Amino acid sequence: MKRSLLFALCLMIGACAQRADSPMLIPSVNEIEYGRKSFSLPKTAGIYADSELVSAGEYLKEAFADRVCFQGVTPEDATVRLLMDRSVAGIDTYRLSVTHAKVEIRCNSYGGAVAAIATLRQLAVKGDVPCCHIEDSARFAWRGFMLDVSRHFFTKEEVMQLLDYMALYKFNKFHWHLTDDQGWRIELDAYPELTTQGAWRKPNNHDEECMQLASRQDDSTYLLPEDRHVTLRGDRLYGGYYTKTDIREVVAYAAKRGIDVIPEVDMPGHSQRAIAVYPTLSCFDKASWGTVFSAPLCLGKDQTIQFCKNVYREIFELFPYKYVHIGGDEVEKDNWERCPRCQSRISHLGLKDEKELQSWFIKEMADFFEVHGKKLIGWDEIEEGGLQNNQTVMWWRSWSERSFRNAITAGNEAIISNNEYFYLSQAENRGTLRKVYEFDIDGMFEDSIPTSVKGIQAHLWAETIPTFEKCCFRLFPRLLAVSEQAWRRPSGDFEEFERRAFAHLENIFDADSLNYRIPDLKGFCDRNVFVGQTMVKLSAPLQNTEIYYTTDGTIPTQASNRYTDGIVITEDTTLKLRCYTPTGHAGEIVTLSYIATDYLPAVEAKSLYEGLQADWYDFKGETCAGIDSAAFLGRYVVPTVAIPQGVSGNIGLVFSGYIEVPEDGIYSFFLESDDGSVLDIDGVRVIDNDGPHSRLERSGQVALAKGLHHLSARYFDYNGGMLKFGAIDSAGQRIALPAAWRLLHE
């Protein structure tokens, strides 16, 4: 017998009033047609849900619980109707119709119903729900987010809160990174010591780094929570774990929100906590560290293979979704090379080397998964020794696109999660939100995106993220850009998306008192110069933030000077800025230098030609200073500071020449690079973006007299980088050098 959900939802369906501006939806929808009016909260109205959507109706009830109450009603009296319509094509497709009297959702899947509810929640964020008709469907079936709970632990309640926001932004896969070298976080009956011992550890280097960041940035969200500590055997230990009951509650909570949970139990590498508890799982009966990564499980021992199967057997029972993640990344193989048992296994199986030994293990596990109705996912390293068709590759190494290409060419499923764009644990800076939004997934392929590409996924690794507040700070607003990428191909209008994202920060996140990274202030460079005096004019992207500043080198607080309409500077000054939200959340500390100067005099030169000279060196270092001490590989003439065509591999570039400016003035430049770069003009270091780092922008000013000036730039990368150089106009926009600013060389 079919069941229906019948509730009375205290939605006030008022006489339609004139609708205000259209709500700013994230992700944007495929098609929307607005009426001229709205309905408002609250008056009694009923919810009806088809039998397959009963849980979705319950979720709708919970989502509006702070504004609604419920009573029993008949289907005929229902004002909100959730209907299944499998004749509609597409991924998680839904149609949402809001009139003066009814709200109707028609969908082709449970995921479509939850997506429609997410849209309805956003439409109602200010109370009034505009009359509208929406037709919408997803770009990708896999819209994922991964949370690392091993490096630092997050409670069941915190995980559930993240699931709420995942559902609001139409994510449907939660990848739960439950084990790693730093902690084992899931209770298992067969191996209780994995949590009684393996879930707890003494303070480590990650904790120390968090403490240093807390002090250096005056940021308490870097401090480890007291409730994550216990005293065992006289030692103060950090950690935590989930009981089986916790796991089941999270899985059920996620399912109601249309989210599948993918557990990751990392093997054969990143297994130090398991080995510390059961040393015989390793090659030499102890937990140890290799050249770069921890020593792995011993694949030459049958008992190790049985341990893995026993662990996964319990994992399968707890997680109903078909996909389970094995890890398989960053495996230090030195022990296997020295281990007689591993070498015996290699010889017995006729394998070539240790890479094929790992491949054998992954295949063994994939077959074991399949027997139990599961499908194995692994990081892209699992491709290196060959793949079977029952393995799904999660591409994370931006510098190793080959693994991703090989997987989809072989017909294996693959998920795009490359670290350059989707590792949200990397600190955000100017340009990273745009970078995520503008990642051109379609441009990776000559034709359409292959069907074997299941979707995309963002990741949050927790080495320097010990609290839920810092977790949210790293995630938002970048996770909103991932949402846009996953649900619908971005339109390319970043400024329009940015307006929507900022509206969500103010209307949803502030209302929930949720932490987020306050968007960058505008109106300055990292290095600023002035002649005589200057007035610093600042612009905050969010209307509700307040800016505080100091000029004495101290960290700004809400007791410091509050910025109002300008700061007059007449001498060399270090200006520190910090924004605060209405809920008291602090932004990053911005440190600016203002340098009193005169215009640098022009120089003379003869027989100049268009462009800059670029010398390429086979450089493998980590600072720009040593580039020209490496082997010389070639000379190019380039129109600007950019990587010349044909230059790849180990890159060290030295650019030299002149810049000609049309008048006396203060000129602003930027360098964006992965890895390091620097810019000197007339021997003055204008931009210092040196050192190994992911994509990062730095900017600087210099006062130049009309005419020619020496220009030198340096750049290095050894792992597939990028380099971009340009000017900053009076509005703060990054632009190519104006035509009147000529680059020349001798």
Question: What homologous superfamily is domain 142-509 in, according to CATH?
Answer: Glycosidases (3.20.20.80)
pLDDT the model gives residue 71: 53
Tell whether domain 609-745 is in CATH 2.40.10.480. no
For 329, counting Cβ atoms within 10 Å of its Cβ (0-12 exposed, 13-18 middle, 19+ buried), the class is: middle
3-state percent breakdown (helix, strand, coil) of the chain, nearest 5: 25, 30, 40
* CA 599 from centroid of its chain's CA atoms: 43
| This prediction's pTM | 0.92
Handedness of CA 269, 274, 278, 279 (dihedral sign): positive
What are the DSSP calls for 529-573, one per residue? Answer: EESS-EEE--B-SSTT-EEEEESSSPPP-TTSEEP-S-EEE-S-E
The per-residue pLDDT for range 695-715, each reduced to its tens digit, is: 889 999 999 999 999 999 999
What's the per-residue H, E or C state across 116-155?
HHHHHHHHCCCCCEEEEEEEEEECCCEEEEEEECCCCCCC
What CATH number is given for 5-138 in this structure? 3.30.379.10
Contact 33, 130 (CB under 8 A): no
- Long-range pairs for 351-355: beta carbons < 8 A, 24 or more residues apart: 355/384, 355/385
Handedness of CA 655, 659, 665, 667 (dihedral sign): negative
Q: Which helix (H) or strand (E) holds 658?
A: strand 651-661
Structure-token pair, residue 696: 């990062």
pLDDT the model gives residue 83: 95
Q: Helices marked H in 100-146 — which ranges?
A: 110-123
Structure-token pair, residue 68: 């609604």
Name the residue among 452, 424, 392 with its Cα closest to residue 262.
Answer: 392
Domains 5-138 and 609-745 share a fold: no
CB atoms within 10 A of CB 406: 18
Structure-token pair, residue 46: 């009923």
Q: Residue ranges of the chain with pLDDT lower than 70? A: 1-22, 40-45, 66-74, 719-720
Residue 257 to residue 681: CA distance in whole angstroms: 56
pLDDT the model gives residue 372: 98
Give the residue extent of every domain in the chain. Answer: 5-138, 142-509, 527-596, 609-745
The conformation of residue 223, written as its DSSP 8-state character, comes to S
Looking at the DSSP bridge assignments, the partners of residue 568 are: 535
Could you give the 3-state DSSP secondary structure of residue 99? coil
Could you give the 3-state DSSP secondary structure of residue 671? strand
pLDDT the model gives residue 2: 37
pLDDT the model gives residue 742: 96
Structure-token pair, residue 674: 């992965």
Q: Residue 145 is which amino acid?
A: F
- R_g of the chain, CA atoms, integer Å: 28
Residue 175 to residue 316: CA distance in whole angstroms: 15
